[in-house]
Chains A and B, each alone.
Chain A
Amino acid sequence: MTLGRACLFLALAIAPTGAIASLYGARAHRRDWVAVGRRSVYALAAVLTVAFIVLEAAFLRSDFSFRVVASHSSHATPPFYKAAAMWSSQEGSLLLWVWLLSLWSSLVLFLTRHRLRELAPYATAVLLGFATFFGALVVFLANPFQLLDPAPADGVGLQPLLRHPSMMIHPPMLYSGYTLFTIPFAFAVAALIARRTDAAWIRATRRFGLAAWCFLGIGILLGARWSWSELGWGGYWAWDPVENAALMPWLVGTAYLHSFMVQEKRGLLKAWNVSLVLGAGILAILGTFLVRSGILESIHAFGGSTLGKPFLGFIAVLVIGSVALVASRRDELRSPEARSYATLSRESIFLVNNLLLVGLCFVIFWGTFFPLISEAVTGNKASVGPPWFDRYTVPLAIALVFMAGLGPLMAWRKTTLAGARRSLQAPVTVALLVVVALLALGVPGRLPALALLAGTAFAIASVVQELWRGVALRRATTGEAPPAALVSVVRQNRRRYGGYVVHAGIALLFMGVAASSAFQHVRDARLVPGQTARIGGYDVRYVRATSRVAPEKVTLGAVLDVSRNGKHVTTVRTSRGYYPSTDPTAGPVGRYFDGDATTEVGLQAGLRRDIWTAVQPDIGAMQRMIDGIDRRFPLAQGDTQGFLLTAVAQRYAAAPPPAVFRLIVSPLVEWIWLGGIVLALGGLIAIWPPPAARRRRAPASSWAARLGRELSGA
C-alpha cells in the first residue's frame, strides 16, 4: 500500500473515531474525550496534508504509475497546469474538498478551544461526519492513489478547456467556499442539539461564514472570467447548473450575513437564521454533488456519474436531520420577548433583502432542477434556458441593488422620516441623473437595464455618502486630513465599512452585468482575408490567417484589425487549438482534428468596452487534404508526423478557406471583474479582526462609568 492510500485509510479511521469521542465527551461531560475529538480533527488535517502532498508531487513529477496522473496530465503539460491538474480529476478534487474541510475545521476548533464548551464537541462531531462521508468517497469510490502496472510512458494530458490561469485557483476557491459553509452549519447543529440558540455560536463562526461567502464569490467570478475569455461562446454566465450550484449557497449566505446582525443585536429571527445557515450548508454539498455527479449536463462538469447515489443519500440525511432538529427546537428558537422595529429601519430592509435573496435562490433552484423535476413528472427531460431565468431574476436583482443602497441609509430600530429624506436626497438625485444622462446620450431605453443602472448609481452614491459622512464626523473631532480620516473610520468599524465597500462592489458588478447584457452587439460573420465586418460602430478586418504546430496541439488562427471611423483601434489575434484524439484508428494528421478543440479568444479589454473575437476555421474545406495525407502516411510518427502537420498548417496560413468569426462589442464588462475585486476587498476589511479590546476588569465607581469606559476601550 502506498503512503497516500494509507493516509486515506487512516483519515477514514480517524474521522468517525473522533466524532464518537466528541459525542461521548459531550454526553459524559468528559473534557479529555472532547479534547480527543478536537485533536482528531488536527490529526485528520495532518494525514490528509500528507496525502495531498503525495498526490501533488506525483503530478509535478509526472509519475504516470498513478492512474489519475496518467489520465489528467502528460509530459507536455506545462508545470503551472500540472500543479492544478489534480483538481481537474474527480478523485483529486474530492481529496481537495476533504483536505480543505480538515484545515478549516482545525482552524475553527483551535480558535474556539477555550470557548463554547457545550457546543464545540457537537460541532466537532458534525465536521468529522462530513469528513467521514468524503473520506469514504475517496477511499472506496474515487481512489486518487490507484496504480497502473505497467505505467504508461506518457499521460493523456489536461483537458484543454481547463488550461487557463484562473482554473489554477477557481476550484480551490469554490471548494474553500463550500467547505467553509460547513463550519456555521456544524455550529448551528451543535447549538440546536445543545439548546443554546443565543448569539454565541454566531459570534464564533461569523468570520468563517464571511470567508465562505468571499471565497465562493471570488470562485464564481473566476469561473465567469474563464467562461468569457476561454470558452468560445461569448458570454460569462449561461445559467449553467454548475454555475447555479455555486450561486445558490452564496445567495443564502448573503441573506444570513445580513440577518445574523438582527439576531446579534435584537435576538430576533433565530429560526430564520438557523434555517438559512443549515440551508447554505446543504446547498454547498448540493453544489459539490452537481459538479461531481454529472447528473445535469454542464459545460463546467468534468466529473463522472458514479457518486450520485451516495451524495443523494447524504443530502437526504442532511435535509431530514436539519428539518427535524429545527422542528424539535422550535420553542428555543422563539424570540424571548416581543421586540418590534419600525417599518423605516435597517431591520426591515434586511428582512426584505432576505426575502429577495431567498426568492432568487428558489427561482434558480427551480430552473436548475427543472430537467429532473419534469422528467419525474412527465417522463421527459425538459430544461429551461437563460430567457426563463432572466424573466424572474432580473426584477429581483433590480430590487436587491436598490436594497443594497437603501440599507446603509437606514438607522437600526427606527429612522425618522426627516432623516430618511435627508439621507435619500443625494443618492436618488444621482440615480435620476444617471437615467437622464443615459437617455440623453441615446442609450436605448430598455427599462430593466435602465432600472438596474439607476439602482447601481443609487447604491454607489449611498455608500459614498456614508463614507463621506463618517469622514466628515471624524475630521470634525480630530481635524485629520481626509485620507487619514477615511482610514481611521474604516479601522474603527471594519464590519460596517467593510460591508459598505462590499455593497459598492456588488453595485459595480451589476453595472457591468446590466450594460453588457442589454447593450452588447453580437455578430457572426464568415470572412476571407481582406474582408471586413461592421459591429457596434467598429470595423473588423480579417488581415491574415495564422498557424502553429506544437507537440500537444495544432493552432489555426487569424489576425484581425479593428478600426473606428477609419482610425486604427487595436489588433487582436484569435485562434483555435486542436488537440489529438486518443482514438488509435485515427490517422496521424486527422487525429488532431477529431479530438478536443479550444478557442483562444482575441480580447481587447477596456473600462468602456471589450472587443471580443473568436474564430472557427473551416476544417471541412481542408478535409480532403487531411484524409489524403492520412491514407498515404498512416503510420507516420515523430518528426514525419510533425512535418505533415506543419505542411497542413502552412497550407492553411497560405490559402485559408473562409472562417466564421463571432464578434462581440460589449460595454463595461471589465467592471464586473473590478466589482469583484472591490467586493473581495470589502470582505477582507469586514473579516479582519478589530484591534484587541482593552479589557478593564477593575471595579468601577458605578455601572454607568464602567460601561462608558468599556465602550470607549473595547
Chain B
Amino acid sequence: MQFFLVMLVLCGATALMASPLIWRSGAAGGKGAEEAALEAAKEAKFREIRDAEHDLRTGKLSREDHQVLDAALRAEAIDLLRRLDAVRGGPAAT
C-alpha cells in the first residue's frame, strides 16, 4: 500500500512538472516587464492624483499648490497611458 501511494505521488509530481514540455501551449500570453512596469507606474500615478485631490479637500494642500501638482501629475499620467498603448499596440487617443 505504502509503495503504491509513493508511486502515485511520484507519478503525479512528475506529470505536473513535465506537462509544459509535453503539452506545449501555443499561447504567447503574459505581460512583459515593460508593460508591468508601466501598469504599476500608471496605478501609482492615478493614486497620486486621487491623493492630491483628497489632500486638497481635507485642507492639507492649498488650491494653488494643488493646481500646479495636479497638472503635472495628469501630464505624467497621460504620458504613461501613451506609452502603455504603444507597448500594447492598442488604440490611441487623439
On A, residues with C-beta under 8 Å from B are 1-3, 6-7, 10, 14, 17-18, 21, 32-33, 35-36, 39-40, 42-43, 46-47, 50, 113-119, 194, 196, 198-200, 202-204, 264-265, 409-416, 418-420, 422-423, 466, 469-470, 473, 493, 495-496, 697-707, 710-711, 714
Interfacial chain B residues near A43, Cβ < 8 Å: 12-13, 16-17
Q: Are A415 and B47 in contact (CB under 8 A)?
A: no
Instruction: Describe B's contact surface by its main secondary structure.
Output: helix
Are A117 and B69 closer than 8 Å at their CB atoms?
Answer: no
Known A-B contacts A2-B2, A6-B9, A198-B40; A423 and B94 likewise in contact (beta carbons under 8 Å) = no
Question: Which of B12, B18, B78, B91 meets A36, CB within 8 Å?
Answer: B18
Please give, as numbers and ranges, the residues of chain A lying within 8 Å of B46 by CB-CB distance.
710-711, 714
Contact (Cβ within 8 A) B78 A704: yes
Return the chain B residue nearest A476 by Cβ. B57
> Within the complex, what minimum Cβ distance (angstroms) separates A135 from chain B?
13
Mask of B71-94 contacts with A, CB within 8 angstroms, 1/0: 000100110011000000011111
Could you say which of A21, A118, A412, A707 contacts B48, with CB atoms under 8 Å apart? A412
Q: Which residue of A lies closest to B56 (CB)?
A: A411
Q: Which residue of A lies closest to B85 (CB)?
A: A697
Q: Per a CB cutoff under 8 Å, which of B32, B51, B61 touches A118? A: B32
Which residues in window 1-40 of B have CB below 8 A to A?
2, 5-6, 9-10, 12-13, 16-21, 24-25, 29-33, 36-37, 39-40
Asked whether, in the complex, the Cβ of A46 is within 8 Å of the Cβ of B16, the reply is yes
Partner of A703, one of B2, B21, B37, B81: B81
Residues in chain A near residue B21, CB distance under 8 A: 32-33, 36
Instruction: Report Cα–Cα, A704/B45, bound state, in Å.
Output: 14
> Can you name the residue of chain A whose Cβ is closest to the Cβ of B78?
A703
A-B contact list, 30 entries, CB within 8 Å? A6-B10, A7-B9, A10-B10, A14-B17, A39-B20, A40-B17, A46-B12, A114-B29, A114-B30, A116-B36, A117-B31, A198-B37, A203-B36, A264-B40, A265-B45, A265-B47, A410-B60, A412-B48, A419-B62, A420-B60, A473-B54, A698-B91, A701-B94, A703-B81, A704-B78, A706-B81, A706-B93, A710-B46, A711-B49, A714-B43
Provide the residues of chain A in CB contact with B78, threshold 8 Å. 703-704, 707
- A200 lies within 8 A of B36 (CB): yes
> Which B residues lie within 8 Å of A413 (CB)?
52, 69
Q: In the assembled complex, which residues on chain B have CB atoms less than 8 Å from the CB atom of A194?
A: 33
Q: Which residues of A contact B17 (CB under 8 A)?
A: 14, 17-18, 21, 36, 39-40, 43
Question: A6-B9, A36-B18, A39-B16 known; A118 and B91 CB under 8 Å?
Answer: no
Shortest distance in angstroms between B77's beta carbon and chain A's nearest beta carbon?
Answer: 5
Contact of B44 among A199, A420, A422, A698 (CB under 8 A): A199
Name the residue of chain B whose CB is nearest to the CB of A18. B17
